[in-house]
Amino acid sequence: MSILVLAEHHDGALAGATAHVVAAAQQIGGDIDVLVAGENVAAIAESAAKLDGVSKVRVADNAAYAHLLAEPTAALIAELAGDYSHVLAVASTTGKNVLPRVAALKDVAQISEIIAVESADTFKRPIYAGNAIATVQSEDAPKVITVRTTGFDAVAEGGSAAIEAVDLSFTKGADNAQSTFIKEELAQSDRPELGAAKVVISGGRGMGNGENFKLLDGIADKLGAAIGASRAAVDAGFVPNDMQVGQTGKIVAPDLYIAVGISGAIQHLAGMKDSKVIVAINKDEEAPIFQVADYGLVADLFEAIPELEQQL
């Protein structure tokens, strides 16, 4: 068996999420190759080569793969996939965009967002917003899989895998007439990334407006936390949508999750109920969030939050 892992990278750096997917690949067993596709990705390949358990890093460095547009990237992976029993990627917006296209090109099903490896062909994945866990078995070759990073601890960095360029002679280079990258508007933040933060503090509709989200800054600074939001807060325009935690936003599992003014709808719980410790601050003592919270404080957040910030 051999496994191909698509490297996740942003702004010229390997994303930490990749190390979680390599961990999932190790549980499946076999040689693990990492594919680094993009433009000017030499430094990213160097980082990927350091991940424990990686046998080889394959580099597809070409303008056609800049921004990892689905059409050229899926064609590339489908071309390479024949040599592998499994193809894995992070269940990020990149992995979710590209991998199903790869699966269909290979005429195989995809198994989305696995949280556990039972064996090389059997996996666990959440369905119905995480309210049921399905165990599924696939006889496909290759098995195309996206990995929910919160289900696997990242591998360490101590390796030194070989790095080799992928022979791109099968493609006519940037022969992608179907899709063109126009622009990206990325939220600038000095805080840790939501998916990787050890502490997350999230605000919901109870915050009242976008201005009040600043109340969470002080606590986030003191705890080194990322700031998240419920869908209600995003839909109300309080904060941008890349902060959304939930079934259709980001899935987080930090050591500490503080939910402020969040009622705790099924769809939000899907994104955070695997956190180690959950704290809920809400003035409605009937709010469903209290059913999953380890520590609940029934209080007006506008009084409790400044007090909490002071005490930390």
Residue 290 contacts residue 263 (beta carbons within 8 Å):
no
Shortest approach of other proteins to residue 50 CB, angstroms? 23
Nearest approach, Cβ of 160 to other proteins (angstroms)? Answer: 29
CB 242 → other proteins: shortest distance, Å?
A: 5
Using left for φ > 0, alpha for ψ between -120 and 50, and beta otherwise, residue 130 falls in left
Structure tokens at 288: 């469903």
Q: Which is nearer to other proteins, 48 or 199 (CB)?
A: 199
Burial class (CB in 10 A: 0-12, 13-18, 19+), 151: buried
Q: Which is nearer to other proteins, 53 or 195 (by Cβ)?
A: 195
Q: Which is nearer to other proteins, 75 or 163 (CB)?
A: 75
Instruction: Provide, rounded to whole angstroms, the least separation between the CB of residue 155 and other proteins.
Output: 21
Comparing CB distances to other proteins, the nearer of 127 and 165 is 127
Task: Give me the least distance between CB of 264 and other proteins, in Å please.
Answer: 12
Q: What is the DSSP letter of 81?
A: H
Q: Any idea which residue has 């998240």 for tokens?
A: 228
> Could you say which DSSP state residue 271 is in?
T
Cα-based torsion angle of the residue sequence 138, 141, 146, 151 in order, rounded to the nearest 10 degrees: 50
User: Residue 185 or residue 211: which is nearer to other proteins going by CB?
Assistant: 185
